[in-house]
Amino acid sequence: MKFDFKIGEMYSRKEVKKLIGHPEPDLIGGIWGTGYTSFENCYFIFANVGAAGRTGHDYPNLLAYNSLYWYSKGTESLHTKTITNMMSGNYDIYIFTREDSKDVQFVFRGLGYVKDFEDNKPVHIVWGFHNSKETIVPKGFQINQRKLFLEGAKKDSLATRYERNPGARNACLAYYGYNCVCCNFNFENKYGEVGKEFIHVHHEIEISTIGEEYQIDPIMDLKPVCPNCHAMIHKRKPAYSIYEIKKFLEKV
């Protein structure tokens, strides 16, 4: 770690600039007023967690499982030089977070390394944190691990509702395709173009019963099912398993 920040301690942007020897530490504006910037071949992320930033961008950054589920600026992709540099492992990434966008203080979480990512606009990166001053990047996260998506993000409203991650759905369908795993029905085969890529995705863990965020394996935890089979699965509480529905179909 090039700069001596203390993990878990609070820093304002001005304090960060002073500690890294920036020539204009008291000037907070421009790129230093946004979500991330660079100085002396290091990158600094200032992430709002569950709060809109100064520019009004309200990407759903989440802090969970000692990881930051983070979104880039909306116009950037994996091919943007800044994002490419940040993900390369060749630069120190200093990560600071806050929950209140009006608070000037951020918590220093540690040096970041890429655990996973999605190539969208904005780019979605899962950052892990080094818990020491040693810059040792764990190997193989992007290649060898299946994507784990954060599911069940509970939000307060007049009635509690649960957010379902579209990335997890897409990963499930990329693996299984669009045939119902219970009855093998395919909408495109039956209805033609209008039925192309139409299918429900069933969560084998009922996220409304969990009441917290959790990491979901889109291959193990999600399955494509047609609306009829999906309705039958949920005809009982707790829901029938896919195995049970298949057994019902074998009897008719």
- For the segment 17-42, what is each residue's pLDDT rounded down to a tens digit? 999 999 999 888 888 988 999 999 99
DSSP notation for 70-87: EE--TT--TTSHHHHHHH
Within-domain flag for 5: no
Provide the domain count of the chain. 2
Residue 17 lies in a domain: yes
pLDDT tier for residue 161 given thresholds of 50, 70 and 90? very low
Q: Give the pLDDT mean for 119-136.
A: 72
Using a cut of 0.75, tell me whether the model's pTM lies above it: no
List the domain range (segments joined by +) for residue 207: 153-251
Beta strands per DSSP E along 82-228: 92-98, 105-118, 124-129, 149-151, 153-155, 161-163, 200-203, 214-216, 222-225
Taking the C-alpha atoms of residue 225 and residue 223, their distance in angstroms, rounded to an integer, is 6
Which residues neighbour 69 within 8 Å (Cβ) at sequence distance 6 or greater? Answer: 60, 61, 62, 63, 124, 126, 150
Q: What is the mean predicted confidence (pLDDT) over 212-221? A: 72
**What was the pLDDT predicted at 216?**
72
Q: Given a cut of 70, is residue 202 above it in pLDDT?
A: yes
For residues 194 and 128, membership in a common domain is answered with no
Among the residues of 59-204, which ranges form H helices?
Answer: 81-87, 141-144, 166-176, 187-191
Residue with tokens 């200093």: 94
Least confident segment among 35-39, 58-62, 118-122, 147-151: 147-151
| Higher-confidence position of 186 and 4 | 186
Average pLDDT, the chain: 81
Mean pLDDT across the stretch 155-168? Answer: 53
Name which residue leads in pLDDT, 215 or 180.
180
Tracing tokens 């309200």 back to the chain, one arrives at 58
Residues 183 and 126 in one domain: no
